Amino acid sequence: MTTHDAPQQPRALHRTGPCEFGGLPAVHLRSPDGAQATVLLQGAHLVSWIPAGDEEQLYLSPETVLDGHTAVRGGVPVVFPQFSDTGPLERHGLARTRTWTLEQATVRGEHAFAVLTLEDDAETRALWPHAFTLELTISVDRRRIEMELAVINRGDTPFEFQAALHTYLACADVRRAQLEGLLDQNYHDKVLDQPRQQWIDVVTIAQELDRIYWESPRQLLLREVGRKVEIRQTAFEDTVVWNPGPERSAALPDLPDDGWLGMLCVEAAQIGNPVRLAPGEEWTGMQTLEVQT
Ligand SMILES: O=P(O)(O)OC[C@H]1O[C@@H](O)[C@H](O)[C@@H](O)[C@@H]1O
């Protein structure tokens, strides 16, 4: 099935609580002021964020496969415990294709939030032999969304992991968008497979771009005509900026040929220094998006 655009009732009618999205189990959030978000249980994958009085801020490919186990193209995939193909696991790890448990979905004060968890099982231990709990808390209010990923070592030996919140921001036309705030930053250019330094303050997209900015600033700004989105991260040390450009967009089966024009991934990531967690320890990282007026 490739339809994601058919939540079962008009979005405005959804309240905070379990729902379906494209036929899959999901949870919907709606804060008292009307900010909304929808999260699939598969991967704890945020597929929609609509700030109060505004429009959709995330890109979700109309050609993504929604079958409950194939990686979803767009929204916010959770990457864990391996970034991309840097290790032996499936690309971007094992969290995005597994079904998480919805622990809580509620409205408190001005916020609506949901908590989803994933624990190791025989299948994950066969791939990655560690006892862990992941907890993703997503909270919306007004013009802001916060995504907090917690990783807990529940085993009796230490483990190391990489992680990312692989956010696909929607763009009207990415060729006219600017990502600001990365001046002077060192990065690894994955397209050229070379280390580089950012020598102008804005990143613009005209073709494939795939970069890991090391120990990046905590705050960036995506600017388009009539729109500014602030992107903040805490604890995540690195930031990945990715757009497939026209050729890869045409080659990816779950993205329309012109899909690259409508998206820019700005990912809060922990790649260069994998986190080492001793038994019982917990690590928490957060990405916050806020639409500026
Ligand atoms: O197609 P996937 O597995 O979702 O990955 C998408 C992209 O994710 C980015 O994080 C990587 O830097 C890219 O190299 C990769 O192509």
31: three-class secondary structure by DSSP = coil
Instruction: Name the residue with the closest Cα to ligand 1, atom 14.
Output: 210
Residue 212 domain-assigned (yes or no): yes
* Residue 153 falls inside a structural domain: yes
- What ipTM was predicted for this assembly? 0.98
What is the CATH number for 25?
2.70.98.10
User: Is 169 domain-assigned?
Assistant: yes
Neighbour count for residue 214 (Cβ, 10 Å): 16
Determine what percent of the chain falls in helix, strand and coil, rounding each to the nearest 5: 10, 50, 40
Task: Choose one of 59, 84, 89, 165 to mutate for the ligand 1 pocket test, by most ligand atoms within 8 angstroms of C-beta.
Answer: 84
84 CA distance to ligand 1 middle (Å): 6
Domain with 137 in it: 11-292
Please classify residue 58 by burial: count the beta carbons closer than 10 Å to its beta carbon, then call 0-12 exposed, 13-18 middle and 19+ buried: buried
DSSP per position, 79-103: EBS--TTSSSSSTTBSSTTSBPEEE
Task: For residue 6, tell me if it sits in a domain.
Answer: no
Residue 4 lies in a domain: no
pLDDT tens-digit map of 106-140 = 999 999 999 999 999 999 999 999 999 999 999 99
Rounded CA separation 45/185 (Å): 29
Q: Do the Cβ atoms of 78 and 45 come closer than 8 Å?
A: yes
As given in the structure block, the two tokens for residue 228 are 């500014």
Please check whether residue 125 lies inside any domain of the structure. Answer: yes
Looking at the annotation, which residues are catalytic? 166, 267
Write out pLDDT tens, residues 268-281.
Answer: 999 999 999 999 99
Closest ligand 1 atom to residue 83 Cα is 10
Determine, yes or no, domain membership for 2: no
Number of domains present in the structure of the chain: 1
Q: How far apart are CA 108 and CA 17, in angstroms?
A: 13
* Calpha distance 68→276 (Å, rounded): 31
Residues near 71 by Cβ (< 8 Å), separated by ≥ 6? Answer: 43, 77, 91, 92, 96, 97
Q: Considering the entire predicted model, what is its pTM?
A: 0.96
pLDDT for 65-105, tens place per residue? 999 999 999 999 999 999 999 999 999 999 999 999 999 99
Is residue 271 in some structural domain?
yes
